[in-house]
Amino acid sequence: MSLNTMRTLILSIATVTFLVLLALANFSIMQFQLSKQSAFTERLLAHTERVVQDVMTAIDEAQEKPLEQCSSASIDEFQLLANYHYFVYDIGLIDKDTLVCTANWGLLDSPPPLIDKQSQETSALQIYTDTNNLFPADLPLVAFRVGSIAAFASLDFYAQYSRLAPDFSYRILSQGPSQTLASYEALDSEAFELPFLYQQIQQCSDTLPICIDTNNKRSGILYLSAPALIVVVLICALLSALLTYWWASVQKRRASMEHRFQEALKHKRLHLAYQPIVDARSEHIVGVESLLRWHDERLGHVSPEFVIQMAEELSLYAQLSEFIVDTALSEMEALLRSDSSFFLALNVSSYEILHLDYLDSLIDKVDSKGINPSQIKLEITERVELDIPYLRAFSQKAKGLGFIVALDDFGTGLANLVWLTEIDFSEIKIDRIFTQSLSNDLKRELVTHIIVMINQLNKPLIFEGIEHPSELAHIKQLCDSPKAQGWLFYRAMPKDELESILGKRSL
């Protein structure tokens, strides 16, 4: 990748990251605003319920009294009710749809009518919002009428809510055919609106015929104050820069790692380690499994799985596979020729299975070194994602050439069971998941039944991942002549250490 291309890519990633972070910030702010709006709506509804309930209670109490005429006694009673009920601004008597007297104004000289077309009737309750001409003074009131009694609530009680949440518009509505009892329009709500950013909430009372409708037409980061918006943008820019720097560092390290891997493979700076496989009863070493290792002076120890993945991505797996075979045969040649019962296990992947010339090359190399093909064991793991015909063809050709073909990692998935019925493996290698389950009281019985079933196939079994004596004891009880592999016996080791151990054993 050229320098200009890399710069363009980094700039693109930084831009996309910044926009994604900005979108996440906008979403988070909108959710926060929505929660505030919901709390505001609940608070406004609770307040309205208190107001209406107080007014309705005053009306009920007035109806219980004989207040059929506007006498001094009746006006006194109305005054007592108005003083007692906090949210009742005024209360009075209606005669023939005309307000004739109230607690605050007494007998009205020119009794004004309550106009029906401006009211909203819900059961026996009528609500009037146009009250401008009822009293000598122009007051912001809502009238509630039941029968001949009308009570008035002042809208001044709602002034505090416009101060508490100036960004939220609200309407107090009557249920049924909607009628606005009171409303507030947020400041600057008409400027620079984006309809897709609107947030609207409506909540209705469970006990009274009223609803609260709140609306936020200025949600998201676009409507933050200038200082707050600058802070959000700077934070998103900083995070995008950090994430882009991290990505670029990873890519640079990966590019460096890929280059160093290519050099290591070219100059054979990779090496193999060998983990012994023992006879479970005598604990004598009967063979080894070759394992790839790469320790770089700058990168340190690199995972074999990652090395293999990198080789596949760089189209270098064929060279890596050849390096493993050549190195393993070269380093184990003396041991294999000196002991015909000693074996070397090689792991094969999809590449080796699909390239049948791999077996032709392998048999030529084995023959050239005077090694018996039966001393070479090819282990096929379930991680190989190939159809049965490919696996069967590889297994048949390998066995025809004299190699041992083993099913590796049995127990890691359902495919193993299908493979057992379709492919004639020479040996079966039990995965550490099953092996270590033998020391677990809850899993032991099930695993035992599975191992007994596999043992009835009369195939040699190798148990890997043995770390505790109890696991070895259970294996000895289940099988007559099992082989074992694990840290209980030996860890993977270089060739010299292996030869030293085998030399001491032969003394």
What does the pLDDT read at residue 377?
97
Over residues 89-119, the pLDDT tens digits come to: 999 998 888 888 899 888 887 766 775 444 4
Rounded to 5 degrees, what are φ and ψ at 42? -60, -40
pLDDT of residue 209: 82
Average pLDDT over residues 412-431: 80
Place of tokens 């035992």: 448
Residue 478, phi-psi category: left (phi > 0), alpha (psi -120 to 50), beta (remainder) = alpha
**CA-CA-CA-CA dihedral for 356, 359, 364, 366, to nearest 10:** 170
If you average pLDDT over every residue of the chain, what do you get? Answer: 85
What pLDDT does 192 receive?
A: 54
In tens, the pLDDT along 429-465 reads: 988 888 888 888 888 888 888 888 888 888 999 999 9
The pLDDT of residue 216: 84
Q: What is the pLDDT of residue 119?
A: 47
- 81-90, 152-161, 472-481, range with the lowest pLDDT: 152-161
**For residues 290 and 336, what is the distance between their CA atoms, to the nearest angstrom?**
13
**pLDDT band per the 50, 70, 90 thresholds, residue 195:** low
pLDDT confidence band for 255 (50 / 70 / 90): low
Which pLDDT value is given to residue 363?
96
Q: Is the pLDDT reported for residue 507 higher than 50?
A: no
pTM: 0.54
pLDDT at 323: 95
Q: Mean per-residue pLDDT for 333-350?
A: 94
- Residue listed under structure tokens 């290519």: 262
List C-alpha distances in Å: 59 to 95, 148, 149, 158, 430. 15, 9, 6, 21, 85
**pLDDT (average), residues 157-178:** 75
Average pLDDT score over residue span 466-477: 91
For residue 146, pLDDT beyond 70: yes
If one compares 276 and 10, the residue with the highest pLDDT of the two is 276
Q: Among 113-117, 157-161, 311-315, 318-322, which range has the highest average pLDDT?
A: 318-322
pLDDT over threshold 90, residue 121 = no
**Per mean pLDDT, which range of 81-90, 152-161, 241-250 is the poorest?**
152-161
- Residues of the chain with pLDDT > 90: what percent? 34
291-297: list long-range contacts, CB under 8 Å, 24+ apart: 291/492, 292/320, 292/324, 293/492, 294/261, 294/264, 294/269, 294/270, 295/271, 296/257, 296/260, 296/264
Strands 119-122 and 125-128: antiparallel
| CATH code 3.20.20.450 for 268-499 | yes
Answer yes or no: is pLDDT of 222 > 60.
yes
User: Is 157 or 102 the better-scoring residue by pLDDT?
Assistant: 102
- Average pLDDT rounded to a whole number, residues 460-483: 91
| pLDDT over threshold 70, residue 147 | yes
Looking at the DSSP bridge assignments, the partners of residue 125 are: 122, 146
Summarised one tens digit per residue, pLDDT across range 12-24 is: 888 898 899 988 9
> CB neighbours of 403 closer than 8 A, spacing ≥ 6?
359, 362, 363, 373, 374, 376, 377, 378
The larger pLDDT score, comparing residue 470 to residue 140, is at 470
In the chain, where does the domain assigned CATH 3.20.20.450 lie?
268-499
Reported as a single tens digit per residue, the pLDDT across 490-502 is 999 999 999 999 9
pLDDT of residue 186: 76
Asked whether the predicted pLDDT for residue 144 surpasses 80, the reply is: yes
Please enumerate in sequence order all residues whose Cβ is within 8 A of that of 338, keeping only pairs 6 or more positions apart, or say none: none
Per-residue confidence (pLDDT) for residue 206, from 0 to 100: 86
Provide the pLDDT for residue 385.
81
What pLDDT is attached to residue 414? 55
| Token pair in block for residue 209 | 């015929």
Given this model, what pLDDT does residue 402 score? 96
Mean pLDDT of 155-172: 76
Q: pLDDT at residue 416 above 70?
A: no
